[in-house]
Amino acid sequence: MPSLQNKVAVVTGAGSGIGKAIAEAFASDGAIVRIVDSDLARAQSVAEGIQAGRRSATAHQCDISSQASTLSTFRELCEGSGVDILVNNAGISHVGTLEQTSNEDLDRIFQVNVKGAYNCMFSCIPHMKSRHAGVILNIASIAGMIGLADRFAYSMSKGAMLAMTYSVAKDYLAYNIRCNSISPARIHTPFVDGYLKKNYPGKEQEVFEKLSRAQPIGRMGQPEEVAALARFLCSDEALFITGTNFPLDGGTLNLSV
């Protein structure tokens, strides 16, 4: 198994879903995990769960859409034991076509998904450069790779994340900083359950099964499956991998009819 023993890993949006699974997987493999989330209570709950298993984790509140907040948080994180790994997982979703996307909707998606990832990398890169080492992993989406109905703003943001991944990987090769991304298809997270409850009351299970069958493998992915790939890509076993996007999509990209 890939080892992250004593690596300091910052995982954003780790209060739930994919981020939580990544934080727990990293901690179980010996990493010292910094859980960053806009909701401090959720971050603390995840940290306490990890600590209960006699693993190392701390919780940190941060509004990644604010550069001032992000710089302050990473200054605190980098001054201590440093940061070896940054996982840009935090993000929000939006459903709608171009015409159904208001200026405010687009700004909000951009500020969190695009500017948020930028703020975290901008805050962390100087520290990684000084150490001449570091790993950045961006959680993108297949929405940034193919056309999906009613996902105009979200797809825009994830396409930008892919472009940032390639650019950062290229620009910081000389500093031994690797940067990759994972592009999941539909993953079964609390967000999915909340979306179904809000938009399809009484038909949650029916729509859940329909959405699951939309992927060639016949089901949604699990957060733990994203975490397993993230653990490998952030480990020393993946030292030869940089500037690469990894679809985790149940066959959606290549096997859909």
Residue 58 three-state SS: strand
With beta carbons less than 8 A apart as the criterion, state whether 85 and 137 touch.
yes
> What is the rounded distance in angstroms from the CA atom of residue 62 to the CA atom of residue 195?
24
SS (H, E, C) 9-44: EEEECCCCHHHHHHHHHHHHCCCEEEEEECCHHHHH
User: Catalytic site residue 154?
Assistant: yes
d(CA 3, CA 115): 31
Q: CB–CB of 241/178 below 8 Å?
A: yes
Rounded-to-10 torsion of CA 127, 236, 118, 66 = -70
Q: How far is residue 189's CA from residue 201's CA, in Å, rounded to a whole number?
A: 18
* Residue 231 parent element (H or E): helix 223-233
* Catalytic residue of the set 154, 166, 172, 200: 154
Catalytic residues: 154
